[in-house]
Chains A and B, each alone.
Chain A
Amino acid sequence: QVQLQESGPGLVKPSETLSLTCAVSGGSLSGNHWTWIRQPPGKGLEWVGYIYYTGTADYNPSLNGRVSISLDMSRNEFSLHVTSMAAADTAVYYCAIGSGRLQFWGQGILVTVSS
């Protein structure tokens, strides 16, 4: 069974860039899509975007071009980068496997945007 684990800073200042990493174990990045989802406090789930193992990616337009996802095949990890972070980006960020149904998820990491 694939396991995923998010890591990164829990606190980011406004206007800074957030970088999170998702380490994958029990499976390879090859052949799969890899997705990021977030959940602001007290709100529902929001799809951030996904990347295919070939490097093709798709992002939520609501993030206005501030998002990119990258792969590190040698480390079996993928990463999320969000520029110009603002208070509205405060959320639990999850990584998951798949592009449609998301069968395995990480436990999530809370990222707070505050000066």
Chain B
Amino acid sequence: EIVLTQSPGTLSLSPGERATLSCRASQSVDNSVAWYQHKPGQAPRLLISGASSRITDIPDRFSGSGSGTDFTLTISRLEPEDFAVYYCQQYRNTPRTFGQGTKVEIK
């Protein structure tokens, strides 16, 4: 099973600041990584697939990068609605696996 490790566990930032979230895989997953935003009581929302392809209707302040084992989700300027938990997921192999999540909270 491929283990995804996200860091940091919690990111405390102010609106307007830049957020950089990391996801490291225990073995290469090529570019088969997706990023999701998850708010309490809601369904997770797909932001990025293929490590760097932004999904339709996702604001361009969200960007993804990386390949192999190291991936990054960047939110260029945090808006109030961006404070949430973010998960990376690999779909190179089964079982599909998720990182443990990074919580982006208001400082």
Contacts and interface: CB of A to CB of B under 8 A. Distances in A.
A complexed with B: yes
Interface in B28-71: 32, 34, 36, 38, 42-44, 46, 49-50, 55
A106 B41 CA distance: 11
Interface size class of chain A, counting residues whose CB lies under 8 Å from the partner chain = 20 to 34
A61 B96 CA distance: 11
B22 to A, nearest CB: 16
A47 B42 CA distance: 17
Find the residue from A44, A59, A105 having the highest chain B CB count within 10 A: A44
A103 B98 contact: no
Interface residues of B, number: 23
A12 to B, nearest CB: 21
A2 interface: no
10 contacts: A45-B38, A45-B44, A47-B89, A58-B95, A60-B95, A61-B1, A62-B95, A101-B89, A102-B36, A106-B43
Interface of B: 1, 32, 34, 36, 38, 42-44, 46, 49-50, 55, 87, 89, 91, 94-101
Given A58-B95, A60-B95, A61-B1, 7 more contacts: A45-B98, A46-B98, A47-B97, A94-B43, A101-B91, A105-B43, A106-B43
